[in-house]
Amino acid sequence: MLSVLIPIYNYKVTPLLSELILQLEDVNVLYEIICIDDASNTFYKENLIIETFKNVTLFKLESNIGRSKIRNLLAEKATYNWLLFLDSDVLPKKPNFIQNYVRCIKLNIKKVYVGGISYTNIRPKKDNLLRWVYGKKREEVSFSKRKNKPYNYFFGSNFLIHKSIFDVIKFNESIVKYGYEDFLFASSLFSNSTIIQHFDNPVIHKGINSTEDYLVNVKQSVENLYELNSIEILSTNNKILKIFKVLNQLKLTFVFSKFYTSLKKVFEYNLKSNYPSLIVLDVYKLTYLCYLENPS
């Protein structure tokens, strides 16, 4: 009935699997859990124990293939028709998390079901603060808000999809670096008139990157955005890209590129502080996008 698919990269997945198996056994459904380790260099030995867990299979990749390819590979290995994708650094927020998804399966309606993401209310230390602030303000979106713009609030860390849909609409494997693979996947669902149904069944995102690591991811995502900027649906739904295109038309990207080179350390000082500003983060992204257009 249900294939639970979990990509792993440098994270201890045993807490998630323990909770999932507990809930899966409680609802008494046919299931499998497939994990693929994307060439992790930490926690690999700790995760080996999951091979002893019931109905769990672990594969280890020798080289890193990225967030899109690994999800497509997980789906290829799945036995059952319903695929539940979860990131390794999340935990179900509710004790009936699996039961809620099983109810969706029993409706036998081929939609994409998205449960949402939440973050702990405990403020982390300064070194991890930016990622938590971003998650709380930009990703932790209420069900009532998500359902009004279903394609805008799709996150690949917690969703259920029928395999017949996924076989047609896969993740874009041209995206190797971090960023925008979820947005393009949701855009493909929209283009193919596939319904995304949001409901209140969140996971808690536990893997809060350090600010240093998160800023590396931010820059990679902006590089992806720059390479994908010709995609119309992306340019009409991404505010930073929309501003970039206006600046390009006005031939002002060179000026904003200079802002990046001259103010980069000022931006990063704020983003690494006890009071990181998401407005500063947006400006950081925009000016870096302009720098990619005018690197000299």
Q: SS3 sequence, 196-219?
A: EEECCCCEEECCCCCHHHHHHHHH
* C-alpha–C-alpha distance, residues 47 and 122, integer Å: 27
pLDDT tens-digit profile of 130-185? Answer: 999 999 999 999 999 999 999 989 999 999 999 999 999 999 888 877 888 998 89
Res. 59: pLDDT tops 70? yes
CATH number at residue 78: 3.90.550.10
Res. 282: pLDDT tops 90? yes
pLDDT bracket for residue 232 (50, 70, 90): low
Res. 85: pLDDT tops 70? yes
pLDDT tens-digit profile of 33-51? Answer: 999 999 999 888 889 999 8
For 8, 50, 55, 84, 87, the CA distances from 35, given in Å and listed in that order, are 7, 9, 11, 12, 10
Residue 267: per-residue pLDDT: 98
* DSSP secondary structure of 243-293: HHHHHHHTT-HHHHHHHHHHHHHHHHHHHTSSS--HHHHHHHHHHHHHHHH
Residue 40 lies in a domain: yes
C-alpha angle 213-218-223 in degrees, rounded to nearest 5? 125
Task: Read off the pLDDT of each residue in 82-97 and give the average, rounded to a whole number.
Answer: 97
Residue 124 lies in a domain: no
Same domain, 280 and 160: no
218: Cβ–Cβ under 8 A, 6 or more apart, which residues? Answer: 281, 284, 285
Same domain, 195 and 245: no
C-alpha angle 176-151-163 in degrees, rounded to nearest 5? 65
Same domain, 111 and 181: yes
Same domain, 186 and 282: no
Res. 16: pLDDT tops 90? yes
Domain with 230, as residue range(s), is 212-293
Lowest mean pLDDT among 210-214, 239-243, 265-269, 283-287: 239-243
Same domain, 163 and 229: no
For 36, 134, 215, the CA distances from 209, given in Å and listed in that order, are 21, 11, 9
Same domain, 228 and 190: no
Same domain, 6 and 92: yes
Choosing from 184, 206, 228, the residue where a domain stops is 206
Number of domains in the chain: 2
pTM value is: 0.93
